[in-house]
Structure 1
């Protein structure tokens, strides 16, 4: 338990109490009773199991009258919370009145009451023998600074249990995604119903994987702007994007590691694909700062593989036990599979996805291509950027017989890559005036033009007229300024979404051993473009 590593032994359920399905609780953040009543109906429609009535959000609150209305009219079981400012809530008034309101909620039939650890002992003593059997007391502790050691969290759980709590709730703050592992270790071994949440974007997986690690409930907001704690997903995303109801203790976990990573559409594609064929697997966003620490921590075979994006495509190489020969030559990976023996094997599917999409674009331009040869053969192929994606494109194009030019902000990195593929190097600033011939192919792998800086472009419009085809690896937005302007100059354009979709087909095959549902991937990308 002291170890950070979440290995197979930690995933064997130890008969934890409350090991039924994890409940989905939606906080009600309305400032009026009428707003909360509307929110309750929305929560029921979305598919929540419980609503959390956040009394501290109400502007005007008449305890006896309002609690009766809210509890009696709720279409779902109710959890009543009256969070004081000293525990991250909005209530600043008299403590005795606050506790009195919670006791009234219990009297009116609330199913759960959330009380802070600091006052729990006295509160529970004061309602001793008066608490209805239908009401459970959640005793909660919030740490807005960090996630303590496993031992410290274990001691905290023991303190909460000692108050007489029916349900233990610990909420910590993630400074790193590996902090979630310590909370998973606690919930999976807990002998009492436990809610374990790690707040913040790096803690997102603690919320999504609650059903895997035996969490009693997790919270999902009604809408993105109405979260009751940092990093809280929406109930809709939990249910529809991450297939929350299908996650079980034996569910395999996949995901995309990156920084930033929240923009990635990969979970949308993979979770829909897993669901379509009934695979017991989930695919998540992993916001990772340190790849080595991530793989050392989540070392169980249940963490079965991941996609790898900026800035980890090269750094992750040193964590691998085995690297596919092509990926090794490129020097960048984007697909990692954990074998049944626990070893990690890495692939590069970026180059397959991008190069096949570019070839198809050129075929439409060039008409008949001799059988067995690539339309890239002999073409002057200009790659902007020498990072992971740049390496994939440069290597892939060289393999197909193209003459490669690598342009990068720092000339040294461009030269290093160009030398590997037998090409020419230059700085990004030089590309604008580089046009030794017409009909060149352009591939942008820099982040210039990516959301939110959608008005930026790596190359001015006048320089684009020398290219017959332009590809942009960026897919948020799909229609980058570079592609719009290239199209206006008459070039064929290839969207970054094509690379995403096609490399995704290969990753899916590597993860599952099954062919990818190509039509489903395409429909989803079209729908969510």
Structure 2
């Protein structure tokens, strides 16, 4: 377990200046009474080995794009969930080097749990690292199958590999505003900000839930359209909050102060849908 004496942690990514991870982690340290620091460090995949070797005594790192796959490759140990997902957003110090873990899955599950979402059908937009975590989260929801909509079906290999390891059945279809799969009980958009705007034109129903991981700006055009149709809308800011809370627990060994972290995030992004 980490001690309360001053330690350092940070978020790695490129670009990373916009990251809200420092807001969340610093709020947690303050609430826990820890004399820790948390920094945002610009880091591409090719920079990762050097950045980590220079900070071997740090308490851990959050990893954002484009490092979620590179973190697996450099780790001395890959925890089972991260290995099954095929994507890591957390690096922790271990006896033999860095340990790769994934807290996105827990973040997705916790965000959906706040709204008691219990879907029978699920459609995922996009096939990147976050969509891989969504597939793992489906198991916790008791959903054994889903549809993944992608622009280019040839770029879904990693997501299909994840589904195979997890035992989740995936139907792959082309990402299009008229796709019938957009009528699923739960639609999860893992697309970058603005990329889902063309899908705002389709009708939404009150029986549906949209979980849009893009929270800046909020509401997105997609979220606004879903809300107008009466659908329940969940902001990706909740994923950010809950995955960070698990990281705090992993790095400090203490119960994360979720309420204080939520308030800090709400203050930093008052229109993020929290």
Give the TM-score category using the shorter length.
Answer: 0.7 to 0.9
Among candidates 471, 478, 483, match of residue 223 of structure 2: 483
Q: Secondary structure at the match of 2:208?
A: strand
Among candidates 65, 68, 82, match of residue 313 of structure 1: 68
Residues 406 and 415 in structure 1, CA contact (< 8 A), matched pair in contact too: no
- Mark the CA change 1:259 to 1:461 in structure 2 (over 3 Å): closer, same or farther: same
* CA displacement at 1:466 relative to structure 2: 8.4
For 1:393, the equivalent position in structure 2 comes to 134
Measure the CA separation in 1 of the matches of 2:230 and 2:116. 13
Per-residue CA deviations over 1:441-475 (Å, capped at 9, x if unaligned) read 1111110328xxxxx61523314448600011112
Does the alignment pair 1:354 with 2:94? no
TM-score (ref. length: structure 1): 0.46
Measure the CA separation in 1 of the matches of 2:87 and 2:136. 11
For 1:328, the equivalent position in structure 2 comes to 83
Residues 291 and 315 in structure 1, CA contact (< 8 A), matched pair in contact too: no
| Matching of residues 436-475 of structure 1 within 5 Å | 438-449=183-194, 457=197, 459-465=199-205, 468-475=208-215
Does the alignment pair 1:426 with 2:173? yes
For 2:180, the equivalent position in structure 1 comes to 435
- Structure 2 spans left out of the alignment, 5+ residues: 270-274
Per-residue CA deviations over 1:148-178 (Å, capped at 9, x if unaligned) read xxxxxxxxxxxxxxxxxxxxxxxxxxxxxxx
TM-score (ref. length: structure 2): 0.85
For 1:410, the equivalent position in structure 2 comes to 152
- Mark the CA change 1:463 to 1:319 in structure 2 (over 3 Å): closer, same or farther: farther
For 1:515, the equivalent position in structure 2 comes to 255
Does the alignment pair 1:278 with 2:20? no
Instruction: Name the count of aligned residue pairs.
Output: 258
* CA displacement at 1:433 relative to structure 2: 2.1
Q: Which structure carries more relative contact order (alpha carbon 8 Å, separation 6+)?
A: 2
* CA displacement at 1:412 relative to structure 2: 2.1
Does the alignment pair 1:298 with 2:40? no
For 1:380, the equivalent position in structure 2 comes to 121
Among candidates 235, 243, 246, match of residue 495 of structure 1: 235
- Structure 1 spans left out of the alignment, 5+ residues: 1-249, 364-374, 451-455
Residues 178 and 202 in structure 2, CA contact (< 8 A), matched pair in contact too: no
* CA displacement at 1:283 relative to structure 2: 0.6
Measure the CA separation in 1 of the matches of 2:262 and 2:220. 19
Q: Secondary structure at the match of 1:423?
A: strand
For 2:272, the equivalent position in structure 1 comes to none
- Mark the CA change 1:502 to 1:257 in structure 2 (over 3 Å): closer, same or farther: same
Measure the CA separation in 1 of the matches of 2:183 and 2:189. 18
Measure the CA separation in 2 of the matches of 1:437 and 1:522. 30
Q: Secondary structure at the match of 2:88?
A: coil
| Matching of residues 206-221 of structure 1 within 5 Å | none
Q: Secondary structure at the match of 1:306?
A: strand
| Matching of residues 8-157 of structure 1 within 5 Å | none
CA-atom RMSD in angstroms: 2.3
